[in-house]
Amino acid sequence: MTRAIQICQHGGPEELQLVDMPVGAPGPGEVRIRHHAIGLNFIDVYHRTGLYPLKMPAGIGMEAAGVIEAVGEGVTHLRPGDRAAYASNPPGSYCEARVMPAMNVCRLPDAIDFETGAAMMLKGLTAQYLLLKTRPVEGLQPGDHVLFHAAAGGVGLIACQWARALGLQLIATAGSAEKCQLALDNGAAHAINYRSEDFAARVKEITEGRGVKVVYDSVGKDTWDKSLDCLRPLGLMASFGNASGPVPPFAPGILGAKGSLYVTRQTLFSHITSRASTQAMADALFDVVASGQVKIHIAQRYPLEQVQQAHRDLEARKTTGSTILTLA
């Protein structure tokens, strides 16, 4: 048996209930992993609220780190006793132990502790595919400006540091002076408090009217229109989240009027559809973290029993950096 968080209907944080569940043995292509720490991400809120509907009853959570207890037939890259971490479907990481598909579970290097592993997989792999694989048609070169919304969050702080390592001039937005300073301390070239400044006007000022080559946006509805105004001709609008709500429908003709812009809606799980692609992306993340170029900032820790409060704080934008759930 394992303690796990389950929802029986979509709704608010109160739907997150602690239950006892059987674990079982792994089948072909599966592993059983006992968690040491669990990552908290905004996609968990989308699953809980029903923005991304789940079949009920449902587990919650996409990210964790722990030790492999058993492997099923056909699993060759992991063995019992291995330290491991993952960002993976299906949801269900909010638990002490689980059986799950092995494809996206990666061996965790000894140099990276369990809490860091749990805090960095989904967010770090997201930053990886954004900065290295989601690029404008003209590419990105050292010195280029990019705009990154919600830069003081878990993905954002990783992206600030990784962008600096790549030589990019990352313009960060955040909702307070403190969060802006945090982004600057982690490698952002500029930071804009969107609550007190017009971020589109500031971007044009910073770039001397040229605009940025790409906007990375996990906020959605509240930042969409002005983000398009921040792009230079042939620029790329890369949406990867909806923290303020989904982007409303828009006429494609506006993209031509604003400079023949490109738009893409990205998800991590399109990038990790094979064992090889998952491992290659994880290796890049492990290398940049082990080298010290990217540090994972765990700013909040909640016991699994306090998951409702963790969700309330995340939705209220009271958190910075990464958040983990801990197990006794």
Residue 328 has pLDDT above 80, yes or no: no
At CA 127, angle to CA 248 and CA 276, rounded to 5? 110
pLDDT of 245 reads 86
pLDDT per residue as tens digits for the range 99-154 = 999 999 999 999 999 999 999 999 999 999 999 999 999 999 999 999 999 999 98
* CATH code 3.90.180.10 region(s) in the chain: 2-122+269-326
Q: What torsion do the CA atoms of 181, 185, 188, 190 make, to the nearest 10 degrees?
A: 40
pLDDT tens sequence across 17-73: 999 999 999 999 999 999 999 999 989 999 999 989 999 999 999 999 999 999 999
Whole-number percent of the chain with pLDDT over 90: 94
Domain 135-265, classified CATH 3.40.50.1000, yes or no: no
Alpha-carbon distance of 297 to 299, in angstroms, equals 6
- DSSP string computed for 14-80: GG-EEEEE------TTEEEEEEEEEEE-HHHHHHHHTSS--PSSEE--SEEEEEEEEE-TT--S--T
pTM for this one?
0.92
pLDDT reported for residue 246: 85
Q: Kind and range of the H or E element at 283?
A: helix 275-290
Strand order in the sheet with 262-265: 190-193, 169-174, 145-148, 212-217, 231-239, 262-265
Using the predicted structure, report yes or no on whether residue 184 has a pLDDT greater than 80: yes
The confidence score (pLDDT) of residue 317 equals 84
- Domain range 2-122+269-326, CATH class: alpha beta
Condensed to tens digits (0 to 9), the pLDDT of residues 220-233 reads 899 999 999 999 99
**Could you tell me what percent of the chain has a pLDDT over 70?**
100
- 233, with CB counted inside 10 A (0-12, 13-18, 19+), is exposed
What ranges in 97-217 are assigned the alpha helix state H? Answer: 114-133, 154-166, 177-185, 199-206
Question: Could you read off the pLDDT of 72-105 as tens digits, one per residue?
Answer: 999 999 999 999 999 999 999 999 999 999 999 9
CATH 3.40.50.720 domain range(s) in the chain: 135-265
Provide the total of helices (H) and of strands (E) in the chain, helices listed first. 9, 16
Q: Is the dihedral of CA 223, 63, 52, 10 positive or negative?
A: negative
- For residue range 289-323, what is the model confidence (pLDDT) as tens digits? 999 999 999 999 999 999 999 999 999 988 888 89
